[in-house]
Amino acid sequence: MLAELEQASGGLWPYLVVIVIGFLPTEVWRVAGVLAGRNLDENSQVMVWVRMVATALVAGVVAKLLMSPSGALAVVPLWGRLGALAAGVAVYFVARRSVLAGLFAGEMVLIGVCLRGSQL
């Protein structure tokens, strides 16, 4: 059935996929957030909990991106990915809380591991 739909939609199929399989399942959470949070007090305990859940979710996304990476990042060994992340955070603090310095350092370590791996 999907194949027939793909046939019928012609060149529009990729856009349909982006909208129906990508956009709608993502946007539903933003809309739900507005509807649920419209009347919540910013200093309420529920809000503190919600912020903790959001932080844990973003940290979880980071872990997933590093544990099961896609594309060229998969070539870098796990220790290299985690080491680069740790280096970035360490430099962030050493450079007096500079996100730019931390990001740059992390990227450099990752590129270093990558180049070293390709020479071996």
Partner 1 sequence: MRLAGQPEANGAMFWFPFRAGVRQAAGLPSLVLMASLIGVGGLTRDIGYPIWAGVLSTLLLWAGPAQVLLFGSLAAGASLPAIAVAVSLSSIRFFPMVVSILPLLRGPGVGTGRLLFGAHFVAVTAWTEGRRLLPSLPVEQRYPFFIGFSITVMAAATFATGAGYYLIAALPAAFAAALLFTTPMFFTLSLVAGSRTLADWAALGLGFALAPLATALVGQDFDLLVVGLVGGTLAYGIHRMRGVR
Using CB under 8 A as the binding rule, the residues of this chain from 83 to 102 that contact partner 1 are 84-85, 88-89, 92, 97, 99-100, 102
- Inter-helix orientation angle 99-119/78-94, to 10°: 150
Provide the angle, in degrees to the nearest 10, between the axes of the packed helices 45-67 and 78-94.
Answer: 130
Our CB check for partner 1 shows the closer of 115 and 120 to be 115
Smallest distance, Å, CB 71 to partner 1?
Answer: 6
Determine if 27 is a binding residue for partner 1 (CB under 8 A): yes
Interface with partner 1: number of residues (CB under 8 A): 75
Q: Using the Cα atoms of residue 100, residue 102, residue 104 and residue 107 in order, give the sign of their dihedral.
A: negative
